[in-house]
Structures are given as structure tokens and as C-alpha cells.
Structure 1
Amino acid sequence: MVTGINSNFMRIGGLASGLDTDGIIDDLMKAERIPLQKMEQDKIWTEWTRDAYREMNTKFSQFEQLFSSMKRASSYKVKSAISTQSDAITATASSSTSNGSYSIEVSQLATNAINVSSTGLSTDASNKIDPLAPLSEQLDKLGATSLPSSLKFTTYQNNPAGETHEIQIDATDSLGDVLAKISDGTGINAFYDVQTDKVVMETKSTGDFNPGGNEIDFSSDSGFFANIFNMTNAGEKGGTNAKFTYNGAIDLESKTNTTSINGLTLTFNDVTAGQARISVTNDVDKAVDSITQFVNKYNELIESVNEKVIEKRHRDYKPLTELQKKDMSESEIELWEEKAKSGMLKSDSMLSSGLTSMRQDWYQNVDTGNANLNHLSKIGITTSKSYADNGKLVIDEEKLREALQDDSDAVYKLFYNADENNQGLVNRLEDSVKQTMENINNRAGKTTWTAEQYTLGKKLKDMETRMDDFQERLAEVENRYWKQFTAMEKAIQKMNQQSTYLTQQFGGM
């Protein structure tokens, strides 16, 4: 029978010999493919190793992300500010604020300037204007004979010399349209109150920007405000600065009810009953939380790395090729690959070196200006005595709190100091982590890198080339087997034909 056709010859299997040529050649090719199977397994192992390195680099990167916050003074020198009159005044303290007690007496709050129509806009309270209909069609309701073509007013929030706003009034403009134009980019909120039939104009900013004068000045107006809105300069109220006394000695003003002085941010909600006391102390809880989070992340990192470098390698469990997986169930594949992937980074020198470097970084002395707080152990952070912890750090919270309370500046310098000759712990750790990540990237690359940019990528590319070449050789070997068997079949067929011919000749004698 004919089993296949090659471009150069016809494959004939078992036609004359009766042999299972397909089966025989399949068995022969299985033996020939054994080196290819090993190549495939090596390629899979290399891919797994690359991915395991990248997973470790992700762990290092997550730890690295905490460095920026650990370089900020606010992570260590967190301040708490407590007011004795919290209903009237609240405060927050920056890391630069000195601990102590401060007195604040608020005598006046900052207010917005506000002006309201002296009387209702409508002449008849029972027949008020429609704020959505054109004003030009409601002059009788307003008690006006004509509608000015524009209005003018001056504000001072953005320019001490005054900023005049001129707004054009169209015949189709409603009251709502005019108020929207007044409120557009002028620093003024203008609205109509239906219940009182009055217009309200209020500055968006608190404060006295025009001492001795109005914050919303109608002096330049041709009569719109007086005749249509029933509003004059005399009706303005507010526009005041906040006034307070600091430590009983300095009288100060602020255009807003939130102001900063000596690192304190003060918010005024009401005038005080005499002096309010603001007590500033170190907020040890937040600082402890920041340091604890950092140490815990480091412990997670070294736990992950240690698991990989001591993980047992099961050399009898080779990676499964796609052909091998065909004869296995999903659960069997999962269990097999769990064993096969174990120990990929066992005793890896890059990871081990990275761990060693970080451990050394933690235990360097740093000149903090306080000899009692120049080493990690002196603030209550030491290496776990348990062998099973593999170098994890443990925190004596009471000792850490005491160090932060006594000298938060020194604790900050212990962790962060950019001086190359006296680097802080975070600075040293950052250098070690970056070097380890760079080494891993050189070997395993990033997902965005091409194969030529890292060592394992080049190795995988070389493997693929060798596998492609081997596949071509296998095709040639298979063709050779078929040619040999086909030649044999043809020879047997020819012999059979000759035998039949001779039998026929002798049978006729």
C-alpha cells in the first residue's frame, strides 16, 4: 500500500513484505528524537529559571519602593499637635516643628465680603420676576424703564490696585444668565434667592484686600446694581482678615482661616476664649509603624530569597514536553511540574550574595551625632536568634519608641544619610538591592527586553536554533528510512513477480 508521498519518491509500506513499515519507522524515529526531547527539556528548564529570577526581582523591587518614604524625615519625625480649644482652633505640626507648648489667641476670623439686595427685586411680591425669562421683558416687574447694556464692578483679591470687570447685558439675558456672567472668573459668587427675592454677591476668598474700602466696589457702574439689583456699596459686610496673637507677644493677621507659623499649620474655626494652648510632641506611633512596615517587608524579602536558595532539587523530575503531557492527566502534570520546578535557584550565588550584602548593610555604624543611637541594635532592632528565621530582624518596640521619643533626628540619620562617607542604612541597602537587581536583569532580563539583551535570552535563542537544525536532520533521517524500506519493498515485489513467472512457466511443462 502507499502511505505517503515525498517530493522525490513514493513511500511504499509493507506492500510486498507484509511488514508494518509505519510502526517500525515510528519506533526508529522515537530513538532518533531522544536528543531533541532533552533539548526541549533544557529549554523549558531555562525558561523556568528565567521566570524564577524575574519573580525574585519583583520581590526586590517591592522592597525598593519603600526606600523613598524611608528617606523622608516625616517618616521618623512625625509630630502631634493637640489644642486645648479644639472647637476654636486646630493645628498640625511639620517634622521641623520643635516640641513644646505654644499659645494662640484668636480675636477675629477671616470672612468673605458679602452684599445683598437692600429690598426685593420685584415691585410686587405676589408677582415676582422669573429668573429664567429675559430681563428686558420684565422691566415692569423690576420697576425699571430700561435695561443697561452693561454692568461694572471692581474686585481686589488678585490686584491690590483693583480689577474692574465689565459685563455686557444682552436683550435675551435672564437674571440667571447675568448672575452666571458675574460669577465667571471674577472671584465672585452671585446668586438669586427666590424666597427673599434678593441677589447675593459674595467673594470666593476670605480676607481684607482693600483696606478701608469695599471688596466688591460698584462705584464705576452706570446704575445696573443700584437700579436692578437694589445693591449699593453701603450694603457690604465682611471681607475681614483673621487676627490672632502668637505666644502672647506677636499680633498677626491672615487673609484666610488657615495659616502657618513656625512649622505649625493653624486652622481657625472660631474666636478663642483667651489663649488656646497647642502642645507639640513626637507622634511615636506613626514613626514606629513606618519603621515596622519597612522591617517587615525586608523580612518577607529574605524569606522568599532563602526559600529559593535552599529549596530541594528533584533531578529525577525533568520538565515535561508537550508530547509527554498528552499521556497524563491535569493533576498528574501539576504534581510532576511542582517537583520539576523545585530547586531552580538552589544555592544561587547572585541571590546569596545579595542577602549577605543586605545583612552587612544593616549592621554598619552610622555617625548620627548621638553615640547612643548609632547602630540598629541601639534602637531595638536585632537579628532573630532562631536559626529557622534565617537572619530575619525582630523589633523591640519599647526600645524603638524610647529612641524615637528621645532623639528622632538621630534615628532619622541612622536610616537616611546621603553622605557617601557616612551613609545611612537605607542608602546602603538601596545600593545593595540595586546591584542585585542589576545582576539578575543581566542574567534573566525584563519582559520588555529582547533575547539579545540578557544571558539566558541568548542561551534560549541558541537552543531554539539548535532545535530547528536538529528537526531538519530528523526529517532527513526519516526520509532516508523511508527510502530504504521503499527500496526493499520494490526489490521484494520484483522477486515475487519473477517467482510467479517462473512458477507459471514450469507449471506448463
Structure 2
Amino acid sequence: MVRIGGLASGMDIDTLVSDLMKAERIPLDKLSQKKQLLEWQRDDYRSMNTLLSDFDDYIFDNMTLQKDFLKKTVTSSMSSAVTATASTNAGNVNTSIVVNKLASSTNWISNSGITYDQNTFASDTVIQLKATNGDGTQSMVTNSDGTKTDVIELTIKAGSTLEDVLKQLSSKKELGINLFTENGKVVMTKNDTGSKSSITIENEAAKTLFASLGFSDTTNNTVPYTLEATKTAGDDAAFTLNGLENITRSSNTFTINDVTYTLNDVTNGKAATIKVSSDTDNMVDKIVQFVDKYNELIEKINGEISETRYRSYQPLSDEEKEAMSEKQIELWEEKAKSGLLKNDSILASSLNKMRTALYSAYTGTGANSDYNQLAEIGIKTTNNYRDNGKLTIDETKLREAIEKDPQAVFQMFSGATRITTTATDGTTTTKDSTVQAELGLTKRLRNIISDTVEGIEKKAGKLTSTNQQFSIGRNIVGLDSQIDRFQDRLTQIENRYWNQFTAMEQAIQKANSQSTYLMQQFA
């Protein structure tokens, strides 16, 4: 609606109404400021949750699994002949090993001409085979109904070429063989090593196929029969371990006492020494990184709850921003956003709980009374009270503790007492104890973080939350309703002002008309 005022009075009605409405909008501006502060506070809470969740993820990825924490270092005095790796449960021992023979694969080479061609099978034909692995185990196939069988079936399509057949046999993983042709011969090799590999022909179609590939078994070719034509049997690896002779394995890679050995060559009667020791550097690095991450976390949280609140700096309205430069707006809003989480009870309580959790002794499974508190492995709070509980490390003391009892140090950080309960139906469940002293330090921290994140989400929600699902959001919804009602009221007030000024204009215009008429009469 176009409004033109002041024609009769000569007054700037637009400016008058605008100035009057500025005063009327002051309560609306305060509501908008309050809403903006709540949105900023919500975002600050969510940033704290992101910080806590990132720290929780770091703990899970780096501090919970023995294989990542308690690594072993393995060295070999003759790495060209034998190498090894060790699991976290392996002892710190020296082992001597003499490699007498390497394991090898079984080979078959066709002993007659290849007669296979695309006309060998006039229709799709199912062949049946069995395969024994180098360690003597039978290769099994799982049927569609879940049952297992040792008969391996392949369907040779009518018109398949020699290349197609060799590729199909090689790709059947249960057979574990590889075939190729060269110089008029077909070579078949078992993929694994060991002396007990075999291939058994199970039906006439398989017999026909292998005979056409040149594998003619004249001594025993009554189905079923084991393919022996021109077979070079594989060998088992043979070695002497710590003086015990004639030990054999079907593979060149095997595990003894949690140490996995890989044989690469014979040692010609000489003994290679395999040394297993704890990877102290890895464990020290993990703990140092953990302390750094923890210090970074509490520094940022302490910074939020102790940040100065500038109450005289309120969020700017659109009109106020128009009168300021971008730099001025940035500086103003920096002050306005400051201290929105000052002395927040959720974050302050979380910090106190984390400090208590780290200082309390660990009494759970695998605890060592010599190394069940951080101070005993060289980790203490700094002497500067302004650090608000930051940790500092004596790496020499930490290294000594790890070298003496790495398992105890790991348990202090990530161990727990496991509790098994039995239900009335006989089913059992096992979970960590709920007693804090029986939980490792990182498990305690993760529980505290989980509770804190949950508490913050109840107050500030998360990205996928609707406003009705958290308390700040509900307050924002309430403010939106107040703002909408107040805007409706302002519209009514503005209309009233215009009606009043319009009435004034009409009265002035009427008075001017009467004055003009009287002057005409007197004239």
C-alpha cells in the first residue's frame, strides 16, 4: 500500500512514523538479540561436542587394542633366509632356527599331446574333481543350502576354447591350481605348498577333459583316481628350532608360540637368530600423543568456561550493521560471542570427572601395584595452576616402566575387569565392570565423554536434531512465536499511526478549505 502524507500539513509523515516505530521496535530487537545469543550458544555447545567426540575417536583408534598398543619388534640375524613377526602375546625371547629345506608346490606336466579343441564337448558338461591341500586337508565347497561337500563341480560350456578351459580351472578357488600351456604342454601347479597336494578325477567327463589336455594316466585310470601322470610332488619345509631337529611345515610361513616365521632360503647349516622384544618406542609415542591430545582438549574447554562475557556487546541489528564497516562488525561480534559458555556446569563437571578419573588408581584385571597410577609411570600435573590440570611426562621414567612391565602399563590405560552374568534362560553376557577403579583410564574417559556429549545434546542438540528435541531449540521456538506476535502488533501500531496522521491531514485539509471559502466571501 502506497502512503503519501504531509500534502496538507507540509510535514514529513514518513519520517515521523518511521521514528515512532523505531521506539516501538526496541522490544522486538531485544527478542531478536536473545534469539541470536541462543543460536550462538547452541553452536558453541556443538563445537565442544565435536571436540569431545574427536578425542573419543582418537582413544578408540589408538589406545584400546593391544595389537596397536603393545607392538613387538622382531629382528633376524639372517633376514635373507628367515624373517618373522610377533603378536602382542609373544614373549621377549631369542630363537635360533636352521632352515634345511623350503616348502614347494606340487606340479603336473602333461605327458602326451593336447587333443582338446572346441568340439571336445558337444554340450555343456559338468566335470567333478576333488583337491587335497599341501597340508593334507580336503578342499571343501559350500552348497547353496549351506551344506558342504568335497566334490568340486565345474560346467564346461560347449564350444569353449582351450584358453577358456584353462582359465576356468585356474579361477576355481577351491581347486587351488594354476594352468598354462607352453611348447605343446599343459603345466598345472598347486597354489599352496606342501607334500600332500593332490587332484582326484571324480567322473568320466573330468577324465575325458584331462586326457584331452595331455594328462594320460595309463596305470590307474578307473574313475575315481588320483592324477599321478608326470607329477612332481611338493615338499614340506624342514627346519631345526632351538636345537629340535626334523620339524616340518607344509608352508614356508607358520606360527609357533605367537611368532610367525617366513622362510625365504636355506641357511646351509647355519643358525639364524630371531630376537623378539617389546616396541617401547611405539608405546611411548602412543602415550605421549594421548597426553598431548588430552592437554589440548582441556585447554580448549577451560578456555570456553573461563572466557570473558561482554554483556554490553549485544548482537547487531540489520540497521546497526549498515552503519558499520565489515571489520567493525567482525570485532563487535567477536565480543558479543565471547563467554557464552562461561562457568557452564556441564563442561566444568566433565573436566572435574576427567581429572579424578586420571588420578585414581587402576585395580582391575592385570593391575600391577607398582604401575597402577599415572604418577608411577612419570605422568603428573604441571606445577602451574593456570594450566588447570594439564599433564606433563617424564619420558625416562615412562620408558623404564614400559620396559619393565608393558602389559601392566597397557592394562592401566585400557584394561578392565570383565563381569559375566547368566540370565534365567541360561544365556550369558559379558561386559566391563561398572566400578571405576576396575576400568582402565581411557575407558573411564570414554564413559565420561559419552555422558557429557549426551548432556550437551539434550541442551543444544546436534545437526540432525529438530528444535523441539533440545532445550535451547525449544527456547528458540518460543522466541520465534513471540517475534511473530510482536511483528503483527507492530503492523497494527504502524497502521494506527498512519490512520491518526491521515485523520490529521484530512482535518487540516478541511480547515484549509473553510479558510479559503471565508476569505473568498470577505473578499
TM value normalised by structure 2: 0.83
Aligned-pair CA distance for 1:280: 1.4
Residues 36-71 of structure 1, C-alpha deviations (whole Å, 9 max, x = no match):
111111111111111011101111111111333423
Residues 471-497 of structure 1, C-alpha deviations (whole Å, 9 max, x = no match):
111001001101100111111111111
* Map of 2:467 onto structure 1: 451
3-state DSSP of counterpart to 1:494: helix
* Map of 2:324 onto structure 1: 328
The one-letter amino acid of 2:303's match is E
Aligned-pair CA distance for 1:296: 1.1
Unpaired runs of 5+ in structure 1?
A: 6-10, 123-133, 137-145
Aligned-pair CA distance for 1:505: 1.9
Residues 3-33 of structure 1, C-alpha deviations (whole Å, 9 max, x = no match):
x45xxxxx55112111111110001001111
Aligned-pair CA distance for 1:168: 3.4
Structure 2 counterparts to residues 115-130 of structure 1, below 5 A: 115-118=108-111
1:395 matches 2:393:
yes
Are the counterparts in 1 of residues 186 and 213 from structure 2 also a CA contact under 8 Å?
no
**154-163 vs 293-302, greater mean Cα deviation:** 154-163
Partner Cα separation in structure 1 for residue 16 and residue 63 of structure 2: 70
Query: Of the candidates 200, 203, 221, which is equivalent to residue 187 of structure 2?
Result: 200
Are the counterparts in 1 of residues 114 and 212 from structure 2 also a CA contact under 8 Å?
no
* Map of 1:315 onto structure 2: 311
Query: Of the candidates 105, 109, 114, which is equivalent to residue 102 of structure 2?
Result: 109
3-state DSSP of counterpart to 1:205: coil
Are the counterparts in 2 of residues 108 and 242 from structure 1 also a CA contact under 8 Å?
yes
3-state DSSP of counterpart to 1:34: helix
3-state DSSP of counterpart to 2:80: coil
Partner Cα separation in structure 2 for residue 406 and residue 495 of structure 1: 107
Query: Of the candidates 135, 139, 143, which is equivalent to residue 117 of structure 2?
Result: 135
1:27 matches 2:9:
no
* Map of 2:30 onto structure 1: 38
Q: How many residues align?
A: 473
In structure 2, the CA distance between the partners of 1:16 and 1:164, relative to structure 1 (3 Å rule), is closer
3-state DSSP of counterpart to 1:277: strand
Partner Cα separation in structure 2 for residue 164 and residue 440 of structure 1: 59
3-state DSSP of counterpart to 2:106: strand
Partner Cα separation in structure 1 for residue 278 and residue 33 of structure 2: 60
1:270 matches 2:259:
no
In structure 2, the CA distance between the partners of 1:219 and 1:173, relative to structure 1 (3 Å rule), is closer
Residues 368-403 of structure 1, C-alpha deviations (whole Å, 9 max, x = no match):
543221210110111112344332111111111110
Are the counterparts in 1 of residues 177 and 189 from structure 2 also a CA contact under 8 Å?
yes
3-state DSSP of counterpart to 2:107: strand
* Map of 2:89 onto structure 1: 96
In structure 2, the CA distance between the partners of 1:470 and 1:377, relative to structure 1 (3 Å rule), is same
Partner Cα separation in structure 2 for residue 164 and residue 453 of structure 1: 58
3-state DSSP of counterpart to 2:23: helix
* Map of 2:457 onto structure 1: 441
**482-491 vs 112-121, greater mean Cα deviation:** 112-121
Aligned-pair CA distance for 1:167: 5.2
Structure 2 counterparts to residues 45-444 of structure 1, below 5 A: 45-68=37-60, 69-118=62-111, 135-136=117-118, 147=120, 154-157=130-133, 158-159=138-139, 163=151, 165=153, 168=156, 170=158, 172-185=159-172, 186-193=175-182, 196-210=183-197, 214-215=198-199, 221-222=206-207, 224-229=209-214, 233-249=228-244, 251-274=246-269, 275-367=271-363, 369-419=367-417, 420=435, 421-444=437-460
Partner Cα separation in structure 1 for residue 349 and residue 209 of structure 2: 81
* Map of 1:139 onto structure 2: none
Partner Cα separation in structure 1 for residue 212 and residue 446 of structure 2: 71
* Map of 1:140 onto structure 2: none
Q: Answer with 1 or 2: which has the greater Rg.
A: 1
**314-323 vs 58-67, greater mean Cα deviation:** 314-323
Partner Cα separation in structure 1 for residue 128 and residue 279 of structure 2: 53
The one-letter amino acid of 1:451's match is N
Are the counterparts in 2 of residues 112 and 239 from structure 1 also a CA contact under 8 Å?
yes
Partner Cα separation in structure 1 for residue 66 and residue 213 of structure 2: 58
The one-letter amino acid of 1:260's match is T
In structure 2, the CA distance between the partners of 1:99 and 1:484, relative to structure 1 (3 Å rule), is same
3-state DSSP of counterpart to 2:517: helix
**226-235 vs 302-311, greater mean Cα deviation:** 226-235
Are the counterparts in 1 of residues 367 and 412 from structure 2 also a CA contact under 8 Å?
no
Are the counterparts in 1 of residues 215 and 229 from structure 2 also a CA contact under 8 Å?
no
* Map of 1:126 onto structure 2: none
Partner Cα separation in structure 2 for residue 148 and residue 433 of structure 1: 68
Are the counterparts in 1 of residues 96 and 273 from structure 2 also a CA contact under 8 Å?
yes
Aligned-pair CA distance for 1:458: 1.0
Partner Cα separation in structure 2 for residue 499 and residue 152 of structure 1: 122
Residues 105-149 of structure 1, C-alpha deviations (whole Å, 9 max, x = no match):
333323222223457759xxxxxxxxxxx935xxxxxxxxx8466
3-state DSSP of counterpart to 2:75: strand
The one-letter amino acid of 1:72's match is L
Partner Cα separation in structure 2 for residue 429 and residue 82 of structure 1: 36
Partner Cα separation in structure 1 for residue 367 and residue 328 of structure 2: 62
Are the counterparts in 2 of residues 80 and 283 from structure 1 also a CA contact under 8 Å?
yes
Partner Cα separation in structure 2 for residue 305 and residue 227 of structure 1: 77
Unpaired runs of 5+ in structure 2?
A: 141-148, 218-227, 418-434
In structure 2, the CA distance between the partners of 1:224 and 1:475, relative to structure 1 (3 Å rule), is closer
In structure 2, the CA distance between the partners of 1:152 and 1:459, relative to structure 1 (3 Å rule), is closer
Are the counterparts in 1 of residues 110 and 213 from structure 2 also a CA contact under 8 Å?
no
In structure 2, the CA distance between the partners of 1:95 and 1:228, relative to structure 1 (3 Å rule), is closer
Aligned-pair CA distance for 1:164: 5.6
The one-letter amino acid of 2:447's match is D
